[in-house]
Structure formats: C-alpha cells, structure tokens
Amino acid sequence: MSETPPPVSDQPVLRLSNVESAYGPIKAIRGVSLQVRRGEIATVLGANGAGKTTILKTISGIIDPRKGTVEFKGEDITAQDPAHIVREGLSHVPEGREVFPLLSVRDNLMMGAYTRNDQDAVMRDLETVFGYFPILRERATQDAGLLSGGQQQMLAISRALMASPDLILLDEPSLGLSPKLTKDIFEIVVRINREHGTTILLVEQNANMALNASDFGYVLENGRIVMEDTCAHLREKDDIKEFYLGIKEDSVRGERRWKKKKNWR
Ligand code: ATP
C-alpha cells in the first residue's frame, strides 16, 4: 500500500469497452463500457441478476468475454489468466467472501501477499490491516471459518489489501450483514481509498451505501449500463431516488411525503 494517496487522476486505471459475457445462451452483460479513474471509488448499481458479478468476473479473468476489451493500466488483459491479472495489481473480493475456512486468519492474510517478495512492506501492510480491523488481530490464530459473516468480510477485504493492489474489485460487501456492520465496513472502505489512494470498483444492491461511499456511478439494468454520472448527481435523479433509494417524492395536501417502495433498500 502506498503511504501517501495520489489524487484522483483523469487517467483510467480500468477501461471496459463494449464487453459482452454470457453463460451458454444467457447473455449476462451486453455491450458494457465503463472506466475507473486512478484514485476513485466507482460503483455499479443494479438489482438481483442485473449482471454486476459477471462484470467483475469478466474483469478478473474468471469469465472470458464473448466481445469487447478489458484494459488495466493501459494493458489489454481481456481473457488473461486470473493469476496474471492478480500479479498485475488487481485484487477481487468475491461475493460471499470465500475465505479459506481451515486456515488461520493470519495465514489467510498472508495468502493475499503470496505474489510479493518485499517482506518488510508485507509486515507493515499486515499492521495496517490490523489497524483497520482490530478484531482480525485478536482472532489472528483462529481458523477463518470460525469468524462471523461480517468478520469474514473484513478478512476478505484485508486479504485483498495484502496484495498491495492498484485496484480492488469489491462484490456486494453488504451481503448478509446488519445495517450497522455494513455502515462500519463502508466507512473503512472509504478510509482505505482516502488514506492509501487505492482505487476501488464496488458493485452493490445497497444503493444508498454505495452512492454515499463512491465518486462515480453506473446503473446496470438487464446487463446494460443505462445511466452514468457522479454519485452526487445520481443521488438527485428521480429514477434513482424511486427505484434504487426506495424513496418517492410526491405531494399530498401540500405536504412532501416520502414513501418506501417495496423490495428496494
Ligand atoms: P446478484 O446481485 O443477485 O448477485 P448480479 O447483478 O451480480 O446479481 P449476475 O450474478 O452477474 O448478476 O448474473 C447475471 C445473469 O446471469 C443472471 O440472469 C443470472 O441468472 C445469470 N447467471 C449468473 N451466473 C450464472 C451461471 N453460472 N450460469 C448461468 N447463468 C448465470
């Protein structure tokens, strides 16, 4: 992890151009183009099944796209081997965390650093992640499978940080967590970005959290990007308020009333 965060740059660290990925006959993403600038948190919002996870799997090489290109730090990494992409500086925190349950917390963290030779810097980064998530230090010698869901999410994010990546892909960190824990984890994600300049691409159904934490956002529906803007602007759009933030503004007897819409957080 770099000591001083570089400012957000106009230079994209990641660029997807017209990417299409499918599972057999099912087209999961269709012509997706997006970019993430160095130093920012970008987010892709979308409902269940919109294609968010497929975008991240396509970037990290788990799925080969049928069309389009993925560029990372100016290099074409389309359909590259995932291990090569990790070595290039891209870490993926998958949906469901996927920690190694029978390894200790510490060993899980060290697995994150397996591509690195700079042992002194690795030990410094271990201290840094223990600073962000003190519970991981307390549980360092316990099996990761014994951690709660929230603690496993902390471990998965920390393991990604241990690779000292240029870009972290973060898949639904709020999944299955209480609102309080979700808030705590988002606060740390923002701190990691602000303090270390780590660029983050976050996909989330929890639009409220994602829009508050991120600089730039894309809205994905049925595998297509239907809207993109700064998060400050997206938060003000009526469609986003109604369908993603679950609030509807209407006028009843001259009063402003905010309605909860079912099925949206
Ligand atoms: P969620 O928020 O529920 O995780 P998502 O936005 O991440 O959803 P994806 O998981 O990318 O969406 O799925 C996009 C589409 O691809 C959906 O229609 C889904 O059913 C389909 N899909 C995903 N994985 C597979 C698979 N392994 N085999 C077949 N279809 C799949």
DSSP string spanning 197-230? --EEEEEES-HHHHHHH-SEEEEEETTEEEEEEE
> What's the token pair of residue 158?
């920390």
What is the arithmetic mean of pLDDT over 185-212?
A: 92
Q: What is the pLDDT of residue 244?
A: 77
Atom of ligand 1 minimally distant from the CA of 203:
7
Phi, psi of 158 (to 5 degrees): -65, -40
CA of 253 to the centre of ligand 1 (A): 43
CA of 52 to the centre of ligand 1 (A): 8
Residue whose CA lies nearest to ligand 1 atom number 2: 48
65/58 Cα distance (integer angstroms): 6
108/99 Cα distance (integer angstroms): 7
What is the arithmetic mean of pLDDT over 109-127?
A: 92
Ligand 1 site, residue 26, Cβ cutoff 6 A? yes
Kindly report the number of other CB atoms within 10 A of residue 163's CB atom.
23
What is the arithmetic mean of pLDDT over 207-215?
A: 93
pLDDT beyond 70 at 262: no
CA of 108 to the centre of ligand 1 (A): 27
Ligand 1 site, residue 58, Cβ cutoff 6 A? no
Ligand 1 site, residue 28, Cβ cutoff 6 A? yes
pLDDT beyond 90 at 31: yes
What is the arithmetic mean of pLDDT over 136-160?
A: 94
What is the arithmetic mean of pLDDT over 68-93?
A: 93
Residue whose CA lies nearest to ligand 1 atom number 27: 23
pLDDT tier, 243 (very low <50, low <70, confident <90, very high otherwise): confident
99/147 Cα distance (integer angstroms): 10
169/61 Cα distance (integer angstroms): 12
- The better pLDDT of the pair 46, 259 is held by 46
Question: Domain 12-89+165-234: which topology?
Answer: Rossmann fold (3.40.50)
* Owner of token pair 């393991």: 159
- The better pLDDT of the pair 234, 241 is held by 234
Residue whose CA lies nearest to ligand 1 atom number 29: 23
Choose one of 53, 97, 218, 264 to mutate for the ligand 1 pocket test, by most ligand atoms within 8 angstroms of C-beta. Answer: 53
pLDDT beyond 60 at 250: no
pLDDT tier, 8 (very low <50, low <70, confident <90, very high otherwise): low
DSSP string spanning 29-79? EEEEEEEEETT-EEEEE--TTSSHHHHHHHHTTSS--SEEEEEETTEE-TT
Ligand 1 site, residue 53, Cβ cutoff 6 A? yes
Q: Which residues contact 243 (CB under 8 A, 6 or more apart)?
A: 261, 264
Choose one of 26, 204, 264 to mutate for the ligand 1 pocket test, by most ligand atoms within 8 angstroms of C-beta. Answer: 26
The sign of the CA dihedral 119, 124, 128, 130 is positive
CA of 120 to the centre of ligand 1 (A): 40
Q: Which residues contact 173 (CB under 8 A, 6 or more apart)?
A: 93, 153, 157, 182, 185, 186, 189, 202, 204
> What's the token pair of residue 179?
């609102």
pLDDT beyond 50 at 263: no
CA of 51 to the centre of ligand 1 (A): 6
Of the given ranges (114-123, 169-178, 212-221, 253-262), which has the lowest mean pLDDT? Answer: 253-262
Domain extents in the chain: 12-89+165-234, 100-163
pLDDT tier, 225 (very low <50, low <70, confident <90, very high otherwise): very high
**215 close to 8: Cβ distance less than 8 angstroms:** yes
- The better pLDDT of the pair 5, 24 is held by 24
Tell me the whole-structure pTM to 2 decimals. Answer: 0.88
* Owner of token pair 């650093």: 113
Ligand 1 site, residue 52, Cβ cutoff 6 A? yes
